[in-house]
Amino acid sequence: MLTYRQGILHLDGRPVPDLAAGLPTPFYAYSLRLVQQRAAAFRQAFPDALVAFALKANRFAPLLHALARAGLGADVVSLGEWRAARAAGFPPARIVVNGNAKSDALLRASIAAGAHSLNLDAVEEIPRIVAAARAVGRPARVALRLNPGLDMHTHPHLQVAAPGSHFGIPPAQWVDAARAVQQARELHLVGLHFHAGSQLTAAQDWHALGRAVREAVQRLQAAGVTVDTVNWGGGLGVTYTDAPDPTPQDLAAVLGPYLEGLGVQGQVFEPGRWLVARAGVLVVRVVQVKHAWGRRFVAVDGGMNALLRPALYGARHRVWPVRAGEPRQPATVVGPNCESADVLAPEVALPADLAPGDLLAVLDAGAYGASMANGYNARPLPREVVVL
């Protein structure tokens, strides 16, 4: 989808400078086609599952509309995401509600509308969900978010099911939590939820999750709990390089056997990153090129305010010049914000003659890019545009 034609970078056939002509930099541009392809691939790998797109990865309305039209569901963690999902056309029965601090307004809105499930993050949340269900006069469909205590091969900030994590219910409380939900007239237990972390690319991690899920289902069934649905959460990663990404088919091959013979009726997935990361580029403009300490610093007009991932996780994104040029020389691409962490990309190869006014494309920025953008240093939020 990103190609050079006559030395100019194109996104799905559109010259990036044309996009920049109508928009202030920095801005995000997305390939709708790629999002649609990835959505179809995920659904094909799990034809009977609810594939609920995690809006935290990207909540740009045109992408949400396309995902809703493709038959996906949505995973939301706030009233704002709930509203965005509803406005994009996701039916309530295809929306799952996550979060370790769901607001009462989110609880009430989602229960009243008949959300697919609310993932219970703590036994302490039960009275709040009961109260919300009573307030709206409708029972709440609840899944238990179990934390099996798994160390995954990903950045520590992206581990959410490790021992000691503040997400999910620890093993010692699983059975009591299930009984408490079963005993509440206002709650209907629909199954178990897991989310092992984000940016998981190693098959061994998915095997570890599969084993943990199987053991959890068996343990709860032995305690007399019926488990209708398993929600595997999100987490499928992308390589952020030229190397191919793991696929939903790979995931299906790993996870399938772990549910065999357990009598589980339904499955849910909550992918975010895998569906949209590759579809987005962040386009920034060079403001200044500085030679100092034996290095070339290319300062651009969008940094950790527009794309937080490098500063937050040490994430590496490829950076391509919009106008191709040789020879290439090393450059460190830095943002405009007053933080030493505001480095978009350390040591990338960029044209030697790069000058103020030139455009750069930061690749694979479609997930956790615009959705995490912020107004630090009083900068405006980046605009977003979809290429059809």
Ligand X SMILES: Cc1ncc(COP(=O)(O)O)c(C=O)c1O
Known catalytic residues are 338
* Of 387, 145, 156, 147, residue with least CA distance to 270: 145
Alpha-carbon gap, residue 37 to 352, rounded angstroms:
36
Instruction: Map the footprint of ligand X across residues 123-162, applying CB under 6 A.
Output: 160
Q: Give least dist CB 134 to ligand X, A.
A: 26
From residue 181, alpha-carbon distances to 13, 127, 139 in Å are 53, 10, 11
Cα dihedral: 217, 222, 225, 227 (round 10): 30
For residues 90 and 59, the answer to whether their CB atoms sit within 8 Å is no
One residue of 148, 191, 246, 271 binding ligand X per CB under 6 A: 271
| DSSP letter (8 states) at residue 325 | -
Q: Give least dist CB 215 to ligand X, A.
A: 20
Q: Give least dist CB 145 to ligand X, A.
A: 7
Residue 270 is a binding residue for ligand X (CB under 6 A)? yes
Alpha-carbon gap, residue 170 to 13, rounded angstroms:
50
Q: Give least dist CB 282 to ligand X, A.
A: 17
Q: Give least dist CB 365 to ligand X, A.
A: 14
Count of residues in contact with ligand X, rule CB under 6 A: 18
In the bound state with ligand X, the residue whose beta carbon lies nearer, of 197 and 303, is 197
One residue of 29, 57, 213, 363 binding ligand X per CB under 6 A: 57
Q: What is the CA radius of gyration of the chain?
A: 22
3-state secondary structure at position 332: strand
Per-residue tokens: 25: 């930099």
Alpha-carbon gap, residue 350 to 329, rounded angstroms:
6
Q: Give least dist CB 99 to ligand X, A.
A: 8
Binding mask 332-361 for ligand X (x = CB under 6 A): ------------------------------
In the bound state with ligand X, the residue whose beta carbon lies nearer, of 148 and 234, is 234
In the bound state with ligand X, the residue whose beta carbon lies nearer, of 191 and 272, is 272
The identity of residue 98, as a single letter, is N
Instruction: Map the footprint of ligand X across residues 216-255, applying CB under 6 A.
Output: 233-236
Residue 364 is a binding residue for ligand X (CB under 6 A)? no
* Of 386, 308, 384, 371, residue with least CA distance to 54: 371
Residue 198 is a binding residue for ligand X (CB under 6 A)? yes
One residue of 75, 81, 121, 384 binding ligand X per CB under 6 A: 75
Cross-strand bridge partners of residue 285? 359
In the bound state with ligand X, the residue whose beta carbon lies nearer, of 272 and 280, is 272
Orientation angle between helical segments 174-183 and 203-222, nearest 10 degrees? 60
Residue 168 is a binding residue for ligand X (CB under 6 A)? no
In the bound state with ligand X, the residue whose beta carbon lies nearer, of 20 and 238, is 238
Residues that bind ligand X (CB under 6 A): 54, 56-57, 75, 98, 160, 195, 198-199, 233-236, 270-274
